[in-house]
Every structure is written in structure tokens, then in C-alpha cells.
């Protein structure tokens, strides 16, 4: 609308409001019938004093000084159109107090005073999102940032353009329709990039189910600038800022949506903030993030199933970093059915592994990444492949335990049970921690157990898709995740936790030169990062050394009798001799003992059966009654044997006969030799000749599997203490400086 020089500023403001209201009037009345029937958030509250008060508050909060906002007109017209059915969907989502600087909800220091507002272009790619795209555009119209535009590229075939067409006549909004889905989401965002205003300095990306808060652009921009004591300055190494995909809009719809909501809380409030603390590689997550416009023009959009992960790798390959903040959170919708969720995660897993394979050598050869960052990429590249590794490791563990009955010293029991308990214990703790950091209501905690169940149910789907993506030459098709448009809960801004904010981005407590602050912070962060990475490496290294140096006998439970050069020994190696050794059992009282050649450091022999398999020869039905003893001794001569299993059996003439007994669990002392002893009690028809140490006559004693104690387990306590020690070292210079100042 052209400005009238005869109007006062206040009159121009009212005229602008009226003009924008007229443009939206037709759209709102077309949508009125549909809005009245939208369940969950249209019919919950009637029009009362509270509704009128909230509408007025929102109308005032949406208008900056001397600036008309679409949100004012939109809320007023909606309250008139819905005079019988109170529309409360977006109203109960977009609420936040003021921090005293004109920016809602902050702490007073979260928006740098730049002297101007960088132009931001919001890009949205949609496909058949008729149920949710309207509320996204309504939320974008309420943003309290004065210098932005919205570009939406739509590939829909479901009539979404009926909803989008009126918005093409609204200031700031550009609606583009494509007849094909060429390039999927990346292709649509490429069109948005071409239509972008040339003044654009930053680009924000949102998915169709997002409902951003009015201050989201300010919250994202904050992290592109320094926050020291001097005037804010750009941080050129920061390529993108990722915020929290806060999937809470329909969290109460079912146990599945509650589980998905909890899963995101653990990831975005615990895992990703920890990555930010370590300055490790962080992934762009597809929505609710901001990137430098010039950088995005230079890189362009890929055509991958996971265009966000591909963009992440290209950013890091060029030396840029990604910053994460949970306090630019953007409410979004939870996937409502397991089938849709499985397909979504399969797409993520396939695209992730495909791009790891595609960009692997490029990342490792990049001169812009440090050796530590390249190692982090290798680790992070296994993010979805861990599902396949989990299935492989679990299968190998079960086979070794239940079928082969063998163990690798200091590894089988530790890693096998870790595969199970790392998920059963760590996932609930992480998700619970995320909910606590959010300050979530009590009912949200019911999703903690559901998230554990969900993680196990998704394992086979993610395993297959990740392996497929790793080895395929071309990615598969894109499967859209349908949205329901339901809103079941009132959503307000997260309340920042002071401790978490301090860890994510430490604030200087006293004025100091900026170069000193930056150098000290960098050194402290690097030291903490090295300690946290070195702790698990230290534990695994010592466990590996223990496994490599442990006697192989500890992993087996079959002991074969040998007689090399007159030395009576038992070990776990079958004989390769063609001629067997002999022990004549023809006289009562004759005894012979075989001993191991190594002294054990101590282990547990569980309850179970002991079986003696033997080869003998004699006349007819000759037999021998013998006392059989399996035990341990302090010396290799087995002069004094402490029985572990002892029984009397009648040995009969024949090949491959056996006798057995069962015994309870036994703790074997350290520095003990295992012994097997046969004492003849009585003979019949001349006795028998025991044959052993032959490749076709292998007499042996089989015991329950021997479990080696995990001697390195105390190191896990050390690993837990290392981060605390690092924190003490980080704070120590501050304490010393404070003492000097006194």
C-alpha cells in the first residue's frame, strides 16, 4: 500500500493494518468452516474472558514499536470468525513474557545489539501438508523480527494450494508451486534459494509441521555473534545454528507419541548439549535451523534422502562449524503411528549411511578438520549402523553363550551384557534427564519406558536401512511422513537452566580482554574434551591388554589329557598325536593326576555339570571302579588337591563312554592350578587300559564355562571421575585468580 504523506505515523499504522486485514479476510472466511471442525484445539475452550485476554495479549506482543504485524489482524479476525468455537491452537502455543528489551522470554542477554536487523529468508518445502501448513504460515506471520521473508515451495497434489494461494497476496510471503518432486526436499529448497531476496544474510529452514515461537529468529541469530564484553562481532567459523525440534504438539495422543516426545527430549537436551560442550561434530537436523545465506548459495542443496546430513558434511569439509542451542526450540508434531515412524527412521538411516560412504574420503582428506574431528566423524558415521552392530553383537553373544559355551576373556561377559543394559539403563536415564532439564509436567514421564520399547522395536528397521544405504549405488525413493494436524497440549517456551546455559556457552563474570577470554575458554574446552574422550579409550585399552595377555584356557571349558615326554598335563587343545598314551588301571590304589601348566588369577566356575569322556580297552565286559576328582592345587604337581567336583563311577570297556556329575558354583582362588585325578578303587576281569592324547582317542573332562572376573571394572569408576577432575582443573584458575584479587 503506498504511503500517504498527509497521514501521521499512527494513522499509517492503522491503514496498514486495515489493508493487511482485508487481504486475509477472504482466506479466513474460506477457512472458517474447516477451522470450526478441527478437533483437539478448536473445540476445547469456549469464548470467555480468558480467551479474550489471551487474544489481546498476543495482539500486543506481536506488534513492535511503530510496526504493524499480521498476527494482530489474524487474531482479531479469528476471534470474530470463531465467536462460537474458540480457536486456541496457536494461541496456547505461542506465549512468552518479555525480557525488557523487546524480545520475548529471554534472560536479557540473548540478543546482540547489532545496530541493524540482518535480513532473514525463511524457506519451507511442503508436499501434501494441507492439514498443517496453514498454522505454520500463521506462526511465521507473528514473528517479532522486523526484517524477514517467507518462501514456501509446494509440490502437493492434495489441494494444499487452496490453503496457500491467499498467502501469496500477503506481504513477505512467496508461494511457489512445482508440478514435479524433482530432487524431493532438496530440490524444493533449491527453488526457494533462487527466489530469495538478494539482501538475505541468513536462511532459516522449517518443516511443515513446525510452529515456531515469535522470537525464534532472534534466538538463532544470537549464536552467530560473539557474546563477550565488547560489542558483538560476527563469528565467521559458525556456518549454521541448529535448535531443538520440540515434538510436543500431539504428545498426549497415544503411548507412541509420548515415547517419541521423550526420545527427542533425551537427544536434544542431553546428547546434543554434551556435543556442544565438547565442540564435537553436530548434525543439522533438517528443520528449525539457520544457516548463512552466502554459504548456502556456495554449497547449494543436495538431492539426498537426508539433505541435512549431506549439508552438514559439506559444511565441515569446508571448515565451518555447527552450533546447537536448545533455547530456540520450535514446537512440532510427533509421528502418530509406528508404520510412519519406522519408514521415517529407515529413510534417515539409509540416507545417513549413504552419505557417510559418499563423503568418507572427502572428510578424512579435508585440511580444514583436525585429527580429532576426523575421528569424531568416523564415530558419528556409525550412528545408525549401530543398530546393525547391536543385532550382530547380540547374536554373537547368544551363540557363544548358548551354543558354543565359550567366552573371550574379559570381553564376552562385559560387552554382551553391556549391549543389553546400555539400552535398558542409559536410554531411560538420558530421556529422564532431558525431561527434567525441560521442566516437563509429570504426565510426560510416562513416555520414558515407552521410548525404551520403541528403541528396540526400531532396531531391525534401522539396521536393514543403514546397511542398504552403506552399500547401494543410488538412494531409494523418498517416503513422506503424513501429519495429523492435531494439537493436544498447551506449549510454552522452555525455561532456561542456568547451569546448562553456562556449560553450553560460558558467560564472563567480570570484564576482561576478549582475547584472554577466548583463549582461556578455548583451552579449557579442549582440555575437558580430551579428558572425556580419553576416559573410555583408556578403559577399552586396558581391557584389550587384559584380553590379549590372558591364558586362552580361561575361555574354554573342555580339558584334554596329555602326556608329552612323560609330563601329565591338561589343557584346552585337542591332541594331534597318532599314537595315544596309556594309563593302566589294573591294580586297586593306583592313582594318576594331570595338571594345568598355568596358574589362574582367580575365576568363577558356575554351577553345572562335569563330564568325563574316556576311551578304554580291556577284556570283554571288564570294568573299573574309580574315584574321579576335579579340583585345584597350589602347585603344578597337584600334591594336595582341593576338590571342586568328586564322584565315584564304574568305567566300562568301550570307546567314547562318559560319566558325569553336577556341582554348585565354586570360586577358584588366585594362583591356583586345575587338576584332574583318577584313583582306581577296584577292578574286574583284569581292569582297563585308559587311552588318551591321541587324535582319535581324546579323553577329556568338560566343566561348566569358566567366567573370568572383569579386573578392569574399577577403571569405570576412574572414567566417571575424570570429567569431575577436568571440571576441577577448569575452575582452579578461576579460584586462584579470585584469591590473588583479595
In the chain, pLDDT over 90 holds for what percent of residues? 36
In this prediction, residues 393-402 reach a mean pLDDT of 76
pLDDT above 60 (res 140): yes
pLDDT level of residue 274 (50, 70, 90 thresholds)? confident
Render pLDDT for 46-91 as a digit per residue (tens, 0 to 9). 444 433 444 444 344 443 333 333 333 333 433 333 333 333 334 3
Task: State the chain's mean pLDDT as an integer.
Answer: 76
pLDDT above 70 (res 611): yes
In this prediction, residues 343-367 reach a mean pLDDT of 91
User: For domain 556-702, which CATH number applies: 3.30.1360.230, 2.130.10.10, 2.60.120.260, 3.40.30.10?
Assistant: 2.60.120.260
What is residue 655's predicted lDDT score, i.e. its pLDDT? 81
Q: What are phi and psi of 129, to 5 degrees?
A: -115, 40
Distance between CA 551 and CA 673 in Å, rounded? 13
What is residue 26's predicted lDDT score, i.e. its pLDDT? 38
729: left (phi over 0), alpha (psi -120 to 50) or beta: alpha
pLDDT above 60 (res 552): no
pLDDT level of residue 597 (50, 70, 90 thresholds)? confident
pLDDT greater at residue 105 or residue 438:
438
Burial of 678 (0-12, 13-18, 19+ CB in 10 A): buried
Could you please state the CATH topology (level 3) that the domain comprising 111-507 is classified under.
Answer: Spore Coat Polysaccharide Biosynthesis Protein SpsA; Chain A (3.90.550)
In this prediction, residues 290-310 reach a mean pLDDT of 91
Which grid coordinates are listed for 58? 498476543
What is residue 157's predicted lDDT score, i.e. its pLDDT? 87
Q: Are 244 and 293 in contact (CB under 8 A)?
A: no
pLDDT above 90 (res 123): yes
What is residue 414's predicted lDDT score, i.e. its pLDDT? 63
What is residue 583's predicted lDDT score, i.e. its pLDDT? 92
pLDDT above 80 (res 200): yes
**What are the start-end ranges of the E strands in 225-328?**
238-242, 245-247, 289-292, 321-324
Distance between CA 164 and CA 157 in Å, rounded? 13
| Closest of 291, 145, 141 to residue 217, by C-alpha | 145
pLDDT level of residue 505 (50, 70, 90 thresholds)? low
Q: Are 639 and 649 in contact (CB under 8 A)?
A: no
Q: Are 709 and 603 in contact (CB under 8 A)?
A: yes
In the chain, pLDDT over 70 holds for what percent of residues? 68
What is residue 89's predicted lDDT score, i.e. its pLDDT? 37
pLDDT greater at residue 515 or residue 162:
162
What is residue 150's predicted lDDT score, i.e. its pLDDT? 96
What is residue 191's predicted lDDT score, i.e. its pLDDT? 93
Lowest mean pLDDT among 181-195, 215-229, 674-688: 215-229
In this prediction, residues 618-624 reach a mean pLDDT of 85
Name the range with the highest mean pLDDT among 33-37, 396-400, 593-597: 593-597
Neighbours of 209 (CB within 10 A): 28
Per domain, the residue ranges of the chain are 1-92, 111-507, 556-702
Render pLDDT for 398-446 as a digit per residue (tens, 0 to 9). 777 677 665 555 555 666 666 677 777 888 889 999 999 888 898 999 9
Render pLDDT for 7-26 as a digit per residue (tens, 0 to 9). 555 555 544 554 554 444 43
What is residue 542's predicted lDDT score, i.e. its pLDDT? 63
pLDDT greater at residue 374 or residue 106:
374
Q: b vs e for 474-491, b when ≥16 Cβ sit within 10 Å of the residue's Cβ?
A: ebeebebbbbbbbbbbeb
What is residue 722's predicted lDDT score, i.e. its pLDDT? 54
What is residue 425's predicted lDDT score, i.e. its pLDDT? 81
Amino acid at each position: 500500500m503506498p504511503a500517504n504523506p498527509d497521514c501521521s505515523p499512527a494513522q499509517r499504522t492503522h491503514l496498514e493494518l486495515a489493508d493487511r486485514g482485508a487481504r486475509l479476510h477472504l482466506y479466513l472466511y474460506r477457512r472458517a468452516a474447516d477451522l470450526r471442525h478441527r478437533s483437539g484445539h478448536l473445540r476445547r475452550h469456549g469464548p470467555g474472558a480468558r480467551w479474550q485476554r489471551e487474544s489481546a495479549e498476543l495482539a500486543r506482543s506481536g506488534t513492535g514499536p511503530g510496526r504493524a504485524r499480521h498476527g494482530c489482524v489474524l487474531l482479531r479476525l479469528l476471534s470474530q470468525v470463531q465467536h462460537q468455537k474458540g480457536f486456541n491452537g496457536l494461541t496456547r502455543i505461542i506465549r512468552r513474557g518479555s525480557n525488557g528489551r523487546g524480545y520475548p522470554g529471554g534472560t536479557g542477554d540473548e540478543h546482540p545489539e547489532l545496530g541493524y536487523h540482518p535480513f532473514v529468508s525463511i524457506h519451507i518445502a511442503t508436499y501434501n501438508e494441507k492439514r498443517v501448513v496453514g498454522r505454520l504460515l500463521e506462526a511465521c506471520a507473528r514473528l517479532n523480527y522486523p526484517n524477514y521473508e517467507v518462501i514456501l515451495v509446494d509440490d502437493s497434489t492434495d489441494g494444499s494450494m487452496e490453503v496457500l494461494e491467499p498467502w501469496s497476496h500477503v506481504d513477505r510471503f512467496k508461494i511457489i508451486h512445482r508440478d514435479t518432486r524433482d530432487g524431493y526436499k532438496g530440490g524444493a529448497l533449491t527453488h526457494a534459494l533462487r527466489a530469495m531476496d538478494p539482501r538475505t544474510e541468513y536462511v532459516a529452514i522449517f518443516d511443515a509441521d513446525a510452529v515456531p515461537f515469535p522470537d525464534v529468529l532472534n534466538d538463532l541469530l544470537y549464536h552467530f555473534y560473539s557474546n563477550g564484553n565488547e560489542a558483538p562481532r560476527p563469528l565467521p567459523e559458525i556456518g549454521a545454528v541448529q535448535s531443538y525440534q520440540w515434538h510436543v504438539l500431539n504428545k498426549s495422543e497415544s503411548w507412541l507419541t509420548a515415547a517419541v516426545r521423550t526420545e527427542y527430549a533425551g537427544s536434544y537436551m542431553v546428547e546434543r548439549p554434551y556435543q556442544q560442550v565438547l565442540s564435537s561434530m553436530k548434525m543439522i537436523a533438517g528443520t528449525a535451523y539457520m544457516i548463512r545465506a552466502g554459504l548456502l548459495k556456495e554449497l547449494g542443496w543436495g538431492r539426498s534422502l537426508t539433505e541435512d546430513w549431506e549439508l552438514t558434511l559439506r559444511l565441515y569439509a569446508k571448515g565451518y562449524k555447527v552450533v546447537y542451542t536448545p533455547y530456540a526450540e520450535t514446537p512440532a508434531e510427533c509421528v502418530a503411528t509406528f508404520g510412519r515412524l519406522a519408514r521415517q527412521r529407515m529413510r534417515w538411516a539409509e540416507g545417513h549411511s549413504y552419505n557417510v560412504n559418499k563423503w568418507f574420503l572427502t572428510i578424512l582428506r579435508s585440511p580444514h578438520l583436525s585429527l580429532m574431528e576426523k575421528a569424531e566423524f568416523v564415530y558419528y558415521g556409525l550412528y545408525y549402523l549401530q543398530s546393525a552392530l547391536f543385532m550382530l553383537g547380540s547374536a554373537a553373544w547368544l551363540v557363544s553363550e548358548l551354543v558354543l559355551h565359550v567366552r573371550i576373556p574379559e570381553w564376552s561377559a562385559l560387552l554382551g551384557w553391556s549391549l543389553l543394559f546400555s539400552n535398558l539403563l542409559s536410554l531411560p536415564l538420558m530421556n529422564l534427564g532431558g525431561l527434567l532439564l525441560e521442566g516437563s509436567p509429570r504426565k510426560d514421564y510416562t513416555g520414558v519406558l515407552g521410548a525404551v520399547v520403541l528403541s528396540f522395536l526400531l532396531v531391525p528397521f534401522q539396521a536393514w536401512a543403514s546397511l542398504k544405504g552403506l552399500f547401494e549405488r543410488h538412494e531409494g525413493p523418498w517416503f513422506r511422513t503424513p501429519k495429523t494436524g492435531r494439537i493436544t497440549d498447551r506449549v510454552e517456551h522452555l525455561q532456561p537452566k542456568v547451569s546448562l546455559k553456562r556449560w553450553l556457552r560460558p558467560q564472563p563474570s567480570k570484564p576482561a580482554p576478549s582475547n584472554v577470554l577466548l583463549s582461556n575458554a578455548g583451552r579449557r574446552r579442549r582440555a575437558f574434551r580430551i579428558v572425556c574422550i580419553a576416559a573410555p579409550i583408556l578403559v577399552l585399552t586396558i581391557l584389550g591388554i587384559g584380553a590379549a595377555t590372558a591364558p586362552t584356557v580361561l575361555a574354554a571349558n573342555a580339558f584334554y589329557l596329555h602326556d608329552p615326554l612323560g609330563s601329565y598335563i591338561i589343557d584346552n587343545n585337542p591332541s594331534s598325536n597318532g599314537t595315544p598314551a596309556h594309563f593302566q588301571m589294573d591294580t586297586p590304589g593306583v592313582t594318576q593326576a594331570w595338571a594345568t601348566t598355568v596358574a589362574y588369577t582367580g575365576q568363577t566356575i558356575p554351577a553345572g555339570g562335569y563330564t568325563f569322556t574316556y576311551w578304554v580297552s580291556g577284556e570283554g565286559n571288564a570294568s573299573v571302579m574309580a574315584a574321579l576328582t576335579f579340583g585345584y592345587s597350589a602347585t603344578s604337581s597337584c600334591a594336595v588337591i582341593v576338590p571342586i567336583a568328586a564322584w565315584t563311577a564304574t568305567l566300562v570297556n568301550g570307546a567314547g563312554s562318559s560319566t558325569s556329575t553336577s556341582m554348585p558354583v565354586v570360586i577358584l582362588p588366585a594362583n591356583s592350578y586345575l587338576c584332574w585325578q583318577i584313583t582306581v578303587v577296584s577292578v574286574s576281569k583284569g581292569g582297563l587300559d585308559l587311552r588318551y592324547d591321541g587324535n582319535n582317542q581324546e579323553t577329556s573332562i568338560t566343566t561348566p564355562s569358566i567366567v573370568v572376573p572383569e579386573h578392569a571394572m574399577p577403571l569405570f569408576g576412574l572414567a566417571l571421575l575424570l570429567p569431575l577432575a577436568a571440571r576441577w582443573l577448569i575452575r582452579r584458575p578461576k579460584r586462584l585468580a579470585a584469591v590473588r584479587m583479595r
